[in-house]
Amino acid sequence: MQVSLLALDNIIKKYNIKNPTKFVGFSSYNTYKSLNIFFLFLAPLNNFIIHKKIQMKTKILLLFILTTFLGHAQNKLWERDLKSELYQVGWIKQSNEGNIIASGAKGLLAINSTNGDIIWHNKELKAVDKNTFLSIEGLPFIYIEYSPLAGKTRGLIMNSNNGDIVFDTKDEGYRIKNYTVLHDRGIVLFQLLQNKNRKLMSFDLKTNKTNWIIDLGEVGGLLTKLLGSSFINHGPFFIGENNYIIGLKDEIYAINFSDGKIIWKHETKKKIKALVYSNNNNSLYVGIKKSNKLLVLNPNSGEDITPGKLKLRGTLIDVMPDETGDLILVETEGFNIIDPKTNLFKWKKSFKIDFLDQVIPHEKGMIAIGKDEKKGSIALVSNEGEKIWDTNVDGYAYYITPTSKGVLYISTERSNILDYEKGKDVWKRDVKFKSIPAVTFDEKENKVVLFENEKGYKFDLETGVIDLFAEDIELKEVKRKTPLVAEYIKDEGYLLYTDQHMSLLSPNGKVKYTSYYKPASSVEGLVGVAQLGLAFAGVDLDIKGSMDNITMLSSLSNGAYRTSKDQTDGTSESSEIVGLYVGPDEQNMKEVFSVTSKRFFNSKRIKNNQFIVTKIKRQDLPSIHKILMINKKTGNVDTQIELLDKIPNYVIDEIDNVVFLNEKNHMISAHKF
């Protein structure tokens, strides 16, 4: 807390203290200032106060400052100067098991997050690019790219526990773009790029060695530049023990999973829209964008076995399986059901509605959805292909889902529920959402809570009734396009928040508090809570909000009334162990990764506080950055840590409530909230 030093300097100057060393209680006042440790000794302080006959008010002020200093010092878990090891620390990150990874001019190292000890130090990996850092989820592995002074840039997979390099691209020029962990097989499949060539690598977690690397052709566009981008669009499907099938943009590959040899390959002229494997007849159905033919392949050989009678009347939109194993074929001219046993259409005539875009199978029938920029339609169709009802929808319906009382839709013009019997409105009046509403579930009232455009609604999923419980609600610095996310706070109400906003709305619609925190220069330490907007191909719309709310609506409509995001009481079951174990049987299992469950489950969203990083302006002084831990129930700042540098570099461990700071590019410290 650097402002404390300034206050202490002012006190020393104001009262003309000739011997600050005696006053502070350290042999060197300058050393004391540089260490930023505030162990003031009461006896010398009291003697000084009595000697100067300072008023009681001043004495109380000094004691308050003293208490603040001591409290802050106790929050610092450890501090380590890495100037000799790394000279300058460019960045810090946190690995899955909690270690702090630090990169500098003299190498890459890992620090034990609990005590600050250096676990390993690789002096060769100098000035690693932070943008290449990738943590392999659920495993003790990290990926980085390193550019030596001489030679090509290398991609490395490292064990973050001991610093071992388990994979090195060396001069091959590989770059990892994405990965898939196959837990049941103890394998990680890495998607690599070599210049513009796609590669697939099988990495064995039992041996920490590469099984095989195969070539999957050339790729272009942004994928070559974006870390985390996947070039596998469909699958994987395991057909038998070793036949592994994946779909790329316009290619399908069948791979022998044991040795990586390509069994067969099929290339399409246009983008593959859908790839579905049917167990009923051991066939692979390929939907090609804007094609007038549904392709059927033999998954064992890649042979085209398409029946002549599967020719489409229009162009393909989608193909998907239903619960019975039949296939729903959606095309521009309507949709029909394919019986995989015969590969024939079940209905003599496809069902058609205007602007057909999607079909949702449901126990009440097939929900057909038509979407256009200014209008759309919804129909319920029987399993025999007969219309039960249909209705028009004003505006573009960007969210439609079945609920227990009917089909819920949200469009740019209106929202309502259509009952299953006749397609009539369940809500007595339409609700208009100008943006994606913030959504949560009130467990006490057993209702869905929606908030948007200064209005709050409660929606009973059992009765289908929706009530307006709050209106003209003004939240600080919140506009229509602000991507609010909601969370139920037990016995308190509904938290509405973004990375920089926090407001609490009571169950009766009153604002308990509302706050806005100016963004810091860098907010990298926090995970963004919202994705802005919805992208619709060929539709010019301006729909803003958080995609998290669409996910939440889907969960609620499928009966998942409580998710991990709604839990408010922290858990700390550190006695249980979770991890990854691989092997041929239970007697021959090898531990790959094991940490306490506290590391996984005591996360940010199940606690009573929210972390926010903010920039605070000061009159006649430079702005400062602070990390705040804010109480969700009260809106009060429970704890705060000041960041010294103008562009702060830090890591927030939301699991253990610890902040790791990289200050002055060499001093790493851990602070417990």
HEC string of 656-667?
CCEEEEEECCCE
Dist CA 196 CA 242 (whole Å)? 28
Is 344 within 8 Å of 338 (Cβ atoms)? Answer: yes
CA nearest neighbour of 469 among 506, 504, 437: 506
Q: How far apart are CA 539 and CA 217, in angstroms?
A: 32
Inter-residue contact 351 to 330 (CB < 8 Å): no
Query: Can you tell me the mean pLDDT for 570-581?
Result: 34
pTM value is: 0.69
Contact indicator for 639, 673 with CB cutoff of 8 Å: yes
Nearby residues of 14 by Cβ (< 8 Å), 6 or more positions away: none
Number of Cα atoms under 13 Å in the Cβ half of residue 342 = 7
pLDDT over threshold 50, residue 567: no
State yes or no: pLDDT of 108 exceeds 70. Answer: yes
Taking the domains of the chain in order of start, what are their residue ranges?
2-78, 569-601
* φ, ψ for residue 308, nearest 5 deg: -65, -25
Q: Is the pLDDT of residue 14 over 60?
A: no
C-alpha 642 chain-centroid distance: 26
Higher pLDDT, 574 or 205: 205
Considering the chain, what is the average pLDDT of its residues?
A: 77
Strand 295-297 and strand 154-159: the pairing is unpaired
**Contact residues for 74 (Cβ-Cβ < 8 A; gap 6+):** none
Cα–Cα nearest to 487, from 396, 380, 606: 606
Please name the residues in contact with 395: beta carbons below 8 A apart, sequence gap of 6 or more. Answer: 374, 375, 376, 411, 412, 413, 414
- Would you state the torsion angle of the CA atoms of residues 404, 410, 416, 421, taken in this order, to the nearest 10 degrees? -50
* Statement: residue 47 has pLDDT above 80: no
Q: How many helices (H) and strands (E) does the chain have?
A: 8, 47
Range with the poorest average pLDDT among 224-233, 243-252, 278-287, 342-351:
224-233
pLDDT at 132 over 60: yes
H/E run at residue 191? strand 187-194
In which band, very low, low, confident or very high, does the pLDDT at 388 lie, cut at 50, 70 and 90? very high
pLDDT of 363 higher than 80? yes
What are the pLDDT digits (tens) for 648-665?
Answer: 688 888 777 788 999 888
Cα torsion 649, 139, 230, 234 to 10°: value is: -150
- d(CA 443, CA 152) in angstroms, rounded, equals 57
Tens of pLDDT, residues 224-240: 444 457 888 888 888 88
Give the range with max mean pLDDT: 54-58, 312-316, 335-339, 550-554. Answer: 335-339
Q: What is the pLDDT of residues 482-514, one digit of tens each?
A: 888 889 999 999 999 888 899 999 999 999 999
**30-44, 241-255, 516-530, range with the lowest pLDDT:** 30-44
**Residue 434: pLDDT band by 50, 70, 90 thresholds?**
confident
Residues whose CB falls within 8 Å of the CB of residue 535, separated by 6 or more in sequence, listed in order? none
Task: Give the pLDDT of residue 546.
Answer: 53
Quick check: 572 pLDDT over 60?
Answer: no
pLDDT of residue 125: 94
- Cα–Cα separations (whole angstroms), residue 671 to 89, 114, 233, 651: 18, 10, 42, 11
What's the rounded mean pLDDT across residues 23-29? 40
In the chain, helix, strand, coil percent, each to 5?
Answer: 15, 45, 40
Residue 609, beta-bridge partner list: 631
Model pLDDT, residue 597: 33
When pLDDT is cut at 50, 70 and 90, the band that residue 573 belongs to is very low
- Residue 392 burial class via C-beta count within 10 angstroms: exposed 0-12, middle 13-18, buried 19 and up: exposed
- Kindly report, residue by residue over 161-220, the tens digit of the pLDDT: 999 999 998 878 888 888 988 888 889 999 999 888 999 999 998 888 999 999 998 876
Mean pLDDT of 68-85: 73
For range 317-327, the mean pLDDT: 84
Residue 213's pLDDT is what? 95
Kindly tell me if the per-residue pLDDT of 377 is higher than 80.
yes
Q: What share of the chain in percent tops pLDDT 90? A: 31
Q: Work out the average pLDDT over 306-313.
A: 78
Q: Which tops the pLDDT comparison, 453 or 419?
A: 419
Q: Is 306 exposed, middle or buried (CB count within 10 Å of its CB: 0-12, 13-18, 19+)? A: middle
pLDDT score for 289: 81
* Residue 559: pLDDT over 90: no
Question: Omega before 584 cis (within 30°)?
Answer: no
